[in-house]
Amino acid sequence: MRTTELSRLLLALGLFTGAAACGDESAGTGPAHDPERTGVRARQVSDAWEGSKAAQTWREGYFPLDDAVQLPEGAFRNEADKHAYETQNFELRAPLSADPPAKGEVRWRGGGSLTVPVSSARAAYEKLARGRNPGPSLVVTGARLGTMTLSTSRGPATVPAWHFTVAGYDTPLRRVAAGPSKLPPPPIKPVARTSDALHPLAGLTSVSADGRTVVLRAHHGSCDEGPAVDVLETGDNVVFSAWIRGRSDGPCTDDLRSREVTVELDRPAGDRLLLDAFTGRPVPYDSPMGSPAPSWD
């Protein structure tokens, strides 16, 4: 893989600062995957988070790990509606307030609640309607403040959400209205540079209902066999180490690709932190629309 492929990602994440913890890699090709070596980094990340102030903040806060939008029942009626949603092409035919409501409340199914800021109907709509093209559109005819249930770092929770009435649908399109808690500073620095041995994950796609199967999205290039992920499980957290399989030395196109990797855990994820060995941070939710969950905006 060419260094520039992942360099663009790392520059966007601001990860070129910080001390290397997996060896001294140069700007060229780094060392091949070494499970023992990456295992050392994974253990460092796990130990740094266990019992840390950052872990306490994460467990006490509201960090959504689910898509910010829930579609109406029966969506979509046709390909035109589907295309309109995918291109974020909406048409507004009702006034929406730009004034945010009073504080809202997140309530966890397992107990506990938290007061959170709530966005205005106008702000929530503008996050949905970013498309500006002459193609088909979804028509919004009204909005009211309600709730929706989604996954968070503390399990399922009921959160404030705007319910948008969409022409042609009997149930509303819901969009999260609750502002997330501030992400805690990680207790460990990221690895300084990417290599075949270790590179950052793109995000968390899903966790199965029983908590045993985790689907992650990982990056790779055009001259390899795709990404793979090693796992370190402890009672407090789960650390994922992403690496690249079967890299070849032939001419490569300069592009950054991604692929889903399914990981089976020894026991349910539960309330354990899901961490990225490269970044030293919790793995962000990977939205199907290509944008992070609200915590990671």
Query: Across the beta sheet with 227-233, what order do the strands follow?
Result: 227-233, 237-244, 273-276
pLDDT in tens, 247-264: 666 555 555 667 889 999
| Residue pointed to by tokens 């938290």 | 114
- Are 46 and 234 in contact, with CB atoms under 8 Å apart? yes
Determine the pLDDT at residue 289. Answer: 52
pLDDT in tens, 51-74: 999 999 998 999 888 888 999 999
Written as six digits, the tokens of 203 are: 């995000």
Q: What is the pTM of this model?
A: 0.76
- Residue 85's SS3 state is helix
Backbone angles phi, psi at 248, to 5 degrees: -105, 165
User: Is the pLDDT reported for residue 37 higher than 90?
Assistant: no
Determine the pLDDT at residue 233. Answer: 97
pLDDT in tens, 232-250: 999 999 999 998 876 666 5
Cβ-based neighbour number of residue 191 at 10 Å? 29
Provide the mean pLDDT of the chain.
82
Phi/psi zone of residue 112: left (φ > 0), alpha (ψ -120 to 50 degrees), beta?
left
Cα–Cα distance, 214 to 211 (Å, whole number) = 7
Average pLDDT in the 106-133 region?
Answer: 92
Q: 100: burial class by Cβ within 10 Å (0-12, 13-18, 19+)? A: middle
